[in-house]
Amino acid sequence: MTDKKHSHDQPKRRHGEDAAAEAAGEAPADEARTEGVAPRDAGGDVSGDGRGADETARLEAERDDYLDHLRRLKAEFENYRKRVRRDADELRLRAAEDVVESLLPVVDNMGRALEAAAQHEEGQLVAGLQLVAGQLHDALAAHGLEEVPTAPGDPFDPTVHEAVMTQPSDDHDEGAVLQVLEPGYLLHGRLLRPVKVVVAR
C-alpha cells in the first residue's frame, strides 16, 4: 500500500517541481537533461560543418581549374590568331615579290625602248615595244591572268561584259557586241575586270 501511494506521488511532485522551475525562470528538468545534446541530422551525422567545408574547398578548386583552363585557351587562341595574321602578311609579301620580280625584265626593256626612241631609231623602238608587251603579257599570264575573249558579233554576256553604250547596227542583231573598248581579264578563273563594249540595239 505504501509503495503504490509513493509511486503515485512521484509524478505529482515532478510536475510540481517543473512548475516551480518554470515560475523561477529555469528550464524544466526534462529540458535540462537534454540541453547541450546536439540534434542529429537526417543522416544521423552530428556535425556537418566539416563535410560542408570540404565540399566548398572542392568546388573552389574546380572553379580555379576551369578559370585556369579558360585563360590558357584564350592565350592559345590569341597566339594562333597572331600566327595566322603573320603568315597571311608573309604570303602577301611573297606574292608581291614574285610579281615585281617577274616584271623587272619588262622595266629593263622599256628603258631600252625609250633609249632607242631618243635616238630616233623607229625600227628599234617598235621592236622594243613589241618585246616589252610580249614579256608583260607572259609575266602576268604566269600569275594566272588571262584575257576574256571577246570579238564584234559575240552575244552580250552580262557576267563578263560591261555595256558602255548602245548603237543601232545594220550588220549585227540586237544585243550583239559591236566594239571592244577595253579588254577584260580573269585572274585564276575569277573575273578581275569586265570587258567594256558597245552593244547593238
56/132 same-domain check: yes
- With CA atoms as reference, report the closest residue to 177 among 159, 155, 158: 155
Residue 86 or 35, more confident: 86
Pair (136, 153) in one structural domain: no
Condensed to tens digits (0 to 9), the pLDDT of residues 76-112 reads 999 999 999 988 888 877 777 777 777 777 777 777 7
CA distance 139 to 7: 125
> Does pLDDT of 9 surpass 90?
no
**Are residues 134 and 153 located together in one domain of the fold?**
no
Residues 6+ apart with CB under 8 A from 17: 29
What are the tens digits of pLDDT across the range 140-181? Answer: 888 888 889 999 999 999 999 999 999 998 889 999 999 999
Write the Ramachandran bin of 188: left for phi over 0, alpha for psi from -120 to 50, otherwise beta.
left
pLDDT score for 14: 52
* Reported pTM: 0.50
Res 32: pLDDT: 45
Note whether 194 and 139 are same-domain residues: no
> Does any domain span residue 14?
no
Residue 43 has pLDDT above 60, yes or no: no
Question: pLDDT at position 44, please?
Answer: 46
- The whole domain housing 109 covers 52-143
The structural domain count of the chain equals 2
**CA atoms of 120 and 130, how far apart (whole Å):** 17
Three cell numbers written together for 1: 500500500
Q: pLDDT class for 42, splitting at 50, 70, 90?
A: very low
The three cell numbers locating residue 95: 606574292
CA-derived radius of gyration, the chain? 50
pLDDT greater at residue 27 or residue 65: 65
Shared domain for 85 and 134, answered yes or no, is: yes
Q: Do residues 185 and 178 make contact, with C-beta atoms less than 8 angstroms apart?
A: no
Highest mean pLDDT among 12-26, 114-128, 167-181: 167-181
Q: With a cut of 90, say whether residue 119 has pLDDT above it.
A: no
How far apart, in whole angstroms, are the C-alpha atoms of residue 20 and residue 34? 19
